[in-house]
Structure formats: structure tokens, C-alpha cells
Chains A and B, each alone.
Chain A
Amino acid sequence: MYKKQNPYLYLLIALFISFSCSDPSELDEGLVDNFDRKEILENVTDNIILPAFGDFTEKLSALEESVNLFADIQNSVNLEEVQVRWFEAYKIWQHIEMFNISKAEEVYFINKMNTYPASISKIENNISTNQYDLDANNNNWVAQGFPTLDYLLFGLEDNNTSTLLFYQNNVNAAHLNYLQAVVSQMVSITDIVSQDWNLSRDTFVNSTANSATSSLNMLTNDFIYYFEKGLRTNKFGIPAGVFSANNARMKKVEAYYESSKSKELSLEALKAVKGFFKGEAYNSSVAGASLKSYLNYMTENEILSSAIISKFDESEQLINNLDDNYANQIAMDNSLMINVFNKLQEGVVLLKTDLLSVLSISVDYIDADGD
């Protein structure tokens, strides 16, 4: 049951018990106010991850249907249908990306679904040579997933009329094929990850140890990683140019070709982050055991957890002030983008120093002795 069966452990246990038995009343009390980490895992898995995957799978198959319909009949209604389905799925994706765990990590789920900006040259090259392997583990991340669909649906031409004409032209049949290929790859890889979640649910919620490979540690580490890289860096930092000598990079906003949606996507991501931290069920405000309640147990107050939630809320307010279209926002006033980045960075500080300190989570990437 336990990974390391240390013979000394039993000596120690015997010793500790002999200490603790001197006052049995205190022992009982301990059992009552002890925190059950399994509850967090159950809540997060059953009420957040699995429902989110369920919804996402549905949205993806709706997208796939619409793409197949469009492949049969290229008219403006069908094109718009694809675009709408794309965005609906992309929104739900924001609830999925932070769970880069086990199967997802193994098959490079996140990289394949949402590495942006997409590479036009890579995509066009794939289309023209018709020789590509979307399943390969590194060379086609920039030519698949949501960002590639963004390009194929909004980036080929300036408007829908021209886009429709483009696809109606038989010369461009290969583009249509590629659109289908990308979507079916997204569907199949999501199925793999989603099925794995359903199969491994029990193992996952029962892995309650405090080790680098236990569930809660992986969840927490991936959550923080996502908040720092996926949300702060990718959605705000890089487009605002804070990592590149102040050269704003409009082309690096998420969903660049349909950039009027960039704000909605990042708000959705922040909503997912907040929901996970508070343990709120997917698309509901019913809260269960969470990092927040665990933190409150460890600190014996709510100071830290409220400070973290405040950072989420303040970030949300700052995001609300932005233009719906981040490319426009960067062109008009990049400083507001940087403000959001800075606010999110304040959240990163609380998560990476205070939260990790208080929870004493074994960080998965640190491998060396301490003293």
C-alpha cells in the first residue's frame, strides 16, 4: 500500500503511540479536526474534471459534426456554424488546460490542443505536401489544435464571404481536408485523455500521499504552473511583450485571427482557475473541499486564502476593463495589458511562495536532498 516500507517506521510508530497514548482525549480530538485530502480529490475529480471533460467532449463532437457538414456543403450558414462551435469548444477548453496530468501529459494533450501562435508556414506546408503526422510528439504542435482552426476559419481571408469563396474553390480542397484532419485529431486525442480520466478516477482519488507523484501534489503543481505560464505568460505576458524588450506581439494573442474573442477566453480561464481553487463544481457555485479549505485548515485562518481570491478578483476587474479584442488593446494601450500581467504575477507570488510553503507540497521538479 505504501511505497516505502521502512522497517524503522514501525519502531517509530511504536514510540509515537507510546507518547500519544498518555493523553487519549487529545488523540480523539485530532481525528475529528484532521483534514481529509481525499475529499479534495473526489470533489475536484467528480465535480470539476469529469463534468468539464464531459462537456468538452460534447462540444468537440458538435464541432466535428459541423465541420463534416461544411465539408459536404460549403455555404455561409455551415461556415458560421463551424465558427460558433469552434468558439464554444475553445471556451470549455479553458477549463481543461490546467489538468496536464498523467495521460494528458503523456500524449502532449495541452501542446497539441493549444500551442499558439500557430505557424502559417507549417500549416500551409502540411497542406501542400499532404505529408504530416499530427500525432507525432513534437513537430506539429503549431499546426494543429484550436489556434490552427482559428487560422483556417478566420485567418485565410479578411471576412466570411471571402473565406467561403476560398473553400468553395476546388483548388483549395486540401485546406478543407486539413480542417477535418485537425478536428478529428482533436476529437481522438481528447477521447484518449477523457477515457483515461474515467478509468483512473478511483486510483486518482485514492492517491492521497504527500509525494511528488501523488494526485494532490500533481494537481497543485499543475494548477500553479497553468496559472503562471498558461494564463499569466501566454495570454498576457508574451502578447504584451514583457518578455521581449517591450515589443508588443499582437500576433501572439490567443485566437489572434478571431481576436475579438480573446478577452472572453481569458475570462473563462480565470473563472476556471477561481472555481478550482474554491472547489466549485463545474458551471455551478456549489463549493466542496478544495485548495482553499485545505489552506484554511493548515493556516488556521482565512487570511492567505482570501488574499489569493482577492488577486483573482482584482485580475478579473482589470481584465473587464480591457477591449474585447486584445490585439486592439495592445495597439491602443498596452499598459493595461501589462497591468493585468502584474496583477496575475501578484497571484503567482502568493501561490508559489505562500501556498506551497504552507501546504509543504513536495514539488515535482525538485530532486535533491535537503537538510
Chain B
Amino acid sequence: MKKKITNYFNHQTNAAPLAVFRIFFGLLMFVSILRFCSKGWIHSLYIDPIFHFSYYGFEWVKPLGIFTYLLFLICGIAAFLVAIGYKYRLSILVFFLSFTYIELMDKTTYLNHYYFVSVVSFIMLFLPCNAQFSMDAITRKKSYKMVPNWTIDSLKLMLGIVYLYAGLTKINSDWLLKAMPLKLWLKSKYDLPLVGQTIMQQEWFHFFMSWGGMFYDLSIPFLLIFKKTRSFAFFLVVVFHIATRILFPIGMFPYIMILSTIIFFDAKVHLRILAFIERMLQKLKIKTHGLNKSINQIEHFKVRKLSRSIILIFLLFQLLIPWRYLLYPGELFWNEQGYRFSWRVMLMEKKGNSVFKIVNLKSKSFFYVNNDDFLSDVQQKQMSFQPDMILEYGQYLGNHFKSQGHQNIAVFVESYVSLNGRLSQQFIDPSANLMEMKDTFKHKHWINPLHDEIKGF
């Protein structure tokens, strides 16, 4: 057994998959940052709002005013340098730090795929993605043909975790037995040509997509591992992600997933991709110095044992963290305690309306807050149904009005939420003074329980 493990970790393989992964990842991130800028989101999401929602323990991470643009610029440049493999270690470190900083600035914009980017770039910190076909290979006049096989496997495992958990979390009664929320979302796609007025409105199709999505997510990692099913699996990946791209506003995520999945193919495919890229570069009259042939082929790239241990621990952590919801009582979809960072993707149609009441406990006088005065529309939408955001905002309001000279302040919220087509119900205990509550990892007892049960993961 021990020998097997040692053998596994010593096993060497061609480094091409890492190079291809690095190039696609870097380019996609570069494009993502450009897209983000061009949509004006830096301003509307990070500069315009006067208040930002923080992650627990990261309250110090805030947008940098006008310098936020600089942060995105740095992130974009780092992504590009990762793609071309120039000073790779530094570039990927800068990318990881700047991207993660951006994501930590405001919880409002949390998306699983942003988290995925942070996670993958963290793993890439410890992988020799610049072994071959990189600027680094040219400048150091050394190209490594082989790398330890586990470095490639660690990325495969991470992708496998994403799919597997995305599939597991779909095993719940709303998704499988009610086809919720897909039923609502698909029905609203009546404007698609041909299919919109027909099968998008069909109940069997809603169930077909729900069950199909679950089986797809659960099986795709295995279909990708085995050589016989790999091409078919990749075809499914392309179809599935393009379908989601058409149906839902999920930005760059489908492309990231499609291109990441290529890593499951063996080195031959990757060598062909690299050869293709080299031909394209030559056509563009960019001197490649025989990138793929390598200047000075050296067989093995040694990865430090410490890196290996860090990645192992990190992946173990990734396997465990989606289960933390089990530590909390109550309905996960409702309370959202342990919901993030768990690959729960597109599982809920949840909308809320939260009105905050500022009360003077002595005089009993009160007034309602106009959320438009403090939050952007996106922030209001997200805050309205997420307990930790309601609390953070409520306390911010309390402190704001205190600093304006109001005294004996208590903050209450009249919050209603509807989940997966259920009639809305009161979400937060209206008699809970938010100023007295603390944001901790403990159960939030001031959330009213959902008057229904959702079975499953």
C-alpha cells in the first residue's frame, strides 16, 4: 500500500496538460476582467455603493475607491502573464491575491464560479504550470518535459469535486419531485425561438432537465476519467454548458468549465493543442523559439514535498467544507447557514423584501429606512433574503443613525421571503433587535423557521 502511494506520487507524466490549462485559464480570466470592466461593473458594484457587505473575518477588505480600477488592472495583467507563462510563480500569486481580494470586497457579488477561480488559482500556486510552453521556459532556457502526474490529478480532482457536489446538492425534494426552481425559470424562457413556446412550457421537460442535470453532474467526473467515455463526456460538457449559457445569465462560467475540462484528456491531445497554438503564434509573426520542442529538454520537474502536502490538505478541506451545513439545525435553503462555498449552483429561486425599522426604545417613536438611500439595487436584492447580510446591514443602519444623534436605538426588520415558488412568509423574527445580535458561526435563532420541509442534501 505504502509502496503504491509512493509510486503514485513519483509517477511522471508529460507536462503539456498543465501548460494548456494555464494558457486557457489565464486567457479566460483576462477576458473576464475585460468584460467586467466594459460592463461598468467596477463602478456600479464597487465604487458607487456607500456600504459593502463583508465576509466574516475579512471586514478589512474594502473597495479602494478610484484605485479599485488599478486593482482590476493588476489582476488583468497578472492573468495575461499567467497565460503566457511569464514569471509564472509571481504572476499566479498576484492573480490569486488580487482576484480573491476583489471577491472579498463585497459579499453581494458572491458567485460559485468566482469562488472556483480563487480555489483553482490557489492550487495553481503550487503547480509547475510553467514547466513547458511558457515565457519562463524561454528565458530560463530550460523546458521540462515531465512533471509529477499528481499535479495534473489535483486539478482533475478539484473539478470532480465541483461536479460531484453540484450533483449531490440537486438530490432534494424541490429539485427532483417538484422540478423547482427549473420549472419557473424554463417557463419564463418563452421568448426562445421554437422551443420557448413549446417544450419550455412542458412539465415533463422541467422534470427531464432537473433529473438530467442531477445525473449529468454526478456522472460527468467518472465519464471524464475513463478513456472510453471521455469524448462523449466532453461532448456532454459542451452541450450542457452552452445550454446553461443560453438559458441563464451566468457570464463566463460555462466557458471556464468547458475549457477546464480539457485537462481530463491525455497528453497527446494537449500536445496537439500546443502545436496548434504555436502555429497560430507563428502566423502572427511571433517568434516562438521552438516553444513546444523546448530549448533544452530536461526530463523531470521536481515539486517540493511541502507543495504536495499543502495541496493534499487543501483538497481534503474542499471535500469536507460543503458538509458543514449539517452542523446547523433548520432548513439549509431557508437559513443559508453553510450554503456558500459548497457548489450549490442554481438551486433556488429566492426573493425577499426587507424593510428596516429604527425604533427609539425610550420614546417608542420609529421610522422606516428607505433602502435606496444606502444600498444599490443589486445589494438590496441579495440582502433581502440572506440572514447574515440582513444582520450586517441592520447593524450598519443602527450605528449610522446613532452617529446622527438618534438615541436608544433598536433595529428591527420586517422581512418576507419566498422560496422556490412557495408563498412568501415572514423570514426574520420581527421582535429581534438586530443591534443585540452577533454575527457568529452559531445558529441564528432569530430566523423564523420555514413552514415546510425540503428533504435531501
Binding site for B on A (CB under 8 A): 2, 6, 8-9, 11-13, 15-17, 19-20, 23, 26-27, 29-31, 33-35, 37, 208-211, 214, 237, 241-246, 298-299, 303-304, 307, 345, 348-350, 352-354, 356-361, 363, 365-371
Cα A363 to Cα B423 in complex, Å, equals: 20
Q: A19-B199, A246-B365 are in contact. List 12 more A-B contacts (CB 8 A).
A: A12-B242, A16-B194, A17-B194, A30-B198, A35-B190, A241-B367, A246-B366, A352-B353, A363-B381, A365-B377, A367-B39, A368-B41
Cα A23 to Cα B198 in complex, Å, equals: 13
Kindly list chain A residues whose C-beta atoms are within 8 Å of the C-beta of B190: 34-35, 37, 208, 210
Least distance between A355 CB and chain B CB atoms (Å): 9
Cα A15 to Cα B418 in complex, Å, equals: 34
Contact A360 B368 (CB under 8 A): no
Q: Which of B249-257, B303-311, B431-439 contacts A (4 or more CB under 8 A)?
A: B249-257
Q: Find residues 235-284 in chain B having any chain A CB closer than 8 Å to their own CB.
A: 239, 242-243, 245-246, 248-253
Chain A residue with minimal CB distance to B192? A9
Contacts A12-B242, A241-B367, A365-B377; A357 near B418 (Cβ below 8 A): yes
Can you list 19 A-B contacts with CB-CB less than 8 angstroms, sorted by A residue number? A13-B193, A15-B239, A16-B195, A20-B198, A34-B197, A208-B191, A210-B188, A243-B367, A245-B406, A299-B421, A353-B417, A354-B423, A360-B184, A361-B188, A363-B381, A366-B378, A367-B378, A369-B249, A370-B248
Least distance between B141 CB and chain A CB atoms (Å): 42
Query: A242 touches which one: B188, B239, B243, B368 (CB < 8 A)?
Result: B368
Contacts A299-B421, A357-B421; A31 near B349 (Cβ below 8 A): no
Q: Find residues 398-450 in chain B having any chain A CB closer than 8 Å to their own CB.
A: 406, 414, 416-418, 421, 423-424
Query: B184 touches which one: A345, A352, A357 (CB < 8 A)?
Result: A357
Interface size on B, residues (CB 8 A): 66
Contacts A210-B191, A368-B109; A353 near B198 (Cβ below 8 A): no
Contact A360 B418 (CB under 8 A): no
Contact A34 B416 (CB under 8 A): no
Query: B245 touches which one: A8, A15, A37 (CB < 8 A)?
Result: A8
Cα A303 to Cα B422 in complex, Å, equals: 10
Contact with A along B368-391 (1 / 0, CB 8 A): 111000000110010010000000
Kindly list chain A residues whose C-beta atoms are within 8 Å of the C-beta of B368: 237, 242-243
Contact B355 A369 (CB under 8 A): no
Least distance between B45 CB and chain A CB atoms (Å): 7
Interface SS, B side: mixed
Cα A214 to Cα B188 in complex, Å, equals: 13
Contact A371 B111 (CB under 8 A): yes
Q: Which of B3-11, B88-96, B147-155, B202-210 contacts A (4 or more CB under 8 A)?
A: B202-210
Contact B187 A298 (CB under 8 A): yes
Cα A370 to Cα B351 in complex, Å, equals: 14
Contact A370 B249 (CB under 8 A): yes
Kindly list chain A residues whose C-beta atoms are within 8 Å of the C-beta of B185: 360
Query: B194 touches which one: A13, A23, A246, A365 (CB < 8 A)?
Result: A13
Question: Is B346 on the interface with A (CB-CB < 8 A)?
Answer: yes
Contact B353 A353 (CB under 8 A): yes
Question: Is B189 on the interface with A (CB-CB < 8 A)?
Answer: yes
Contact A12 B243 (CB under 8 A): yes
Contacts A209-B191, A353-B353, A365-B377; A27 near B367 (Cβ below 8 A): no
Cα A349 to Cα B430 in complex, Å, equals: 15
Kindly list chain A residues whose C-beta atoms are within 8 Å of the C-beta of B208: 19
Contacts A15-B239, A371-B113; A30 near B421 (Cβ below 8 A): no
Q: Which 6 A-B pairs have the closest CB atoms?
A: A360-B188, A369-B251, A209-B191, A246-B365, A365-B377, A349-B416
Question: Is B201 on the interface with A (CB-CB < 8 A)?
Answer: yes
